[in-house]
Amino acid sequence: MLKITVWNEYKHEREHEDIRKVYPEGIHTCIASFLEKEEDFIVRTATFDMPEHGLTEEVLKDTDVLIIWSHALQEEFSDMVAERVKRHVLSGMGLVALHSAHYSKIMKKLLGTTMSLKWRHDDSEKLWCIVPTHPIAAGVPEMITLPKEEMYGEFFDIPKPDDVIFTGWFSGGEVFRSGCTFSRGYGKIFYFQPGHEEYPIYYMPEIQKIICNGVRFCAPVMPERICPDCEEVKH
Ligand code: ZN
C-alpha cells in the first residue's frame, strides 16, 4: 500500500466565493477523492492551519508521497516544517508539487533556485506529452486542452530536470516546462503546473491520471528511509 498525504494551503477556497464554488471542500479534498479510488492508496489530508501545518514528524514518517498545493501563504510557511519536509524527501519520501507550489519554501529549499517564472491570468493551455514512454505519461493522451488556465511561461528558473514530460503551450504564445521530475538525495520529485484555483482542473480525468502516475513514480523505491547525511535508517 502507498501512504499519501495531500497538503493544501486551503485559503483561497475559504475566502473567495467563486473559488469555493469550484472546490467547496478545498483542493485537497478534491485531490484526495480521486486518489482514494486507487485500491492501493491510503490517503490523508493536511492543511496550513493545523499545528505544524499538519506535517509533523509522525505524519511525514508515515507518508510515502506528499502532494503540496500552495500560493498565498508561501512566506508564512514555517521554516522548521519546510526543513523537515526537505529532510524526509532527501531520505526517500516522494514529493508531488502542484501549480503555484513551485514557489513554496519546500521546493526552493530542495531545488536551490529562485523558481521564478512568467505568469498571466485568463489564458488557455494545450498540454503536450513529449515523453510518451515515461511512467508518468502512461495512459495519458498526446495533448490535453485546458480551456481556462493561468499562463505560466519560460524562463522558469529551475535546475536542469531529470525529465521534462509535459510542455505547456499557452494562447499568448508562451511555452512552459509543465511536468518535470527531479531527484534529491533518495527522494523523487514531480512538479506539475496545471491547477490554478479558479478553474476546475483537478476534476479532469486526464489530469487526475497524471497526478496518480506522478504519485506512483515518486513512491520510495527502497524499503526503508535512509538519511543521506548519516546513512542511518530513519524508519
Ligand atoms: Zn494560480
Distance 60 CA to ligand 1 centre (A): 26
Residue corresponding to grid cell 508515515: 62
- Put simply, whether the predicted model's pTM sits higher than 0.95 gets the answer yes
**Residue 192 CA to its chain's centroid (Å):** 6
- Distance (angstroms) between ligand 1 centre and the Cα of 235 equals 36
Q: How far is the CA of 173 from the centre of ligand 1 (A)?
A: 18
Residues with CB under 5 A from ligand 1 (ion): 100, 150, 196
State in Å: Cα 176 to ligand 1 middle: 14
Q: What pLDDT score was predicted for residue 83?
A: 97
Does 155 sit behind a cis peptide bond, omega within 30 degrees of 0 on the bond before it? yes
pLDDT of the residue at 222: 83
Q: pLDDT above 90 covers what percent of the chain?
A: 94
Place of cell 464554488: 21
Instruction: Name the phi and psi angles at 18, rounded to 5.
Output: -70, -30
- Give the pairing of strands 143-153 and 118-129: antiparallel
In the predicted model, is pLDDT for residue 49 greater than 80?
A: yes
DSSP-derived letter for residue 103 is G
pLDDT of residue 6 exceeding 70, the answer is: yes
Measure 141 CA to ligand 1 centroid, in angstroms: 24
| Residue labelled with grid coordinates 492501493 | 40
The Å distance, Cα 118 to ligand 1 centre, comes to 12
Question: Reduced to 3 states, what is the DSSP secondary structure of residue 139?
Answer: coil
Indicate the pLDDT class of residue 14, thresholds 50, 70 and 90.
Answer: very high
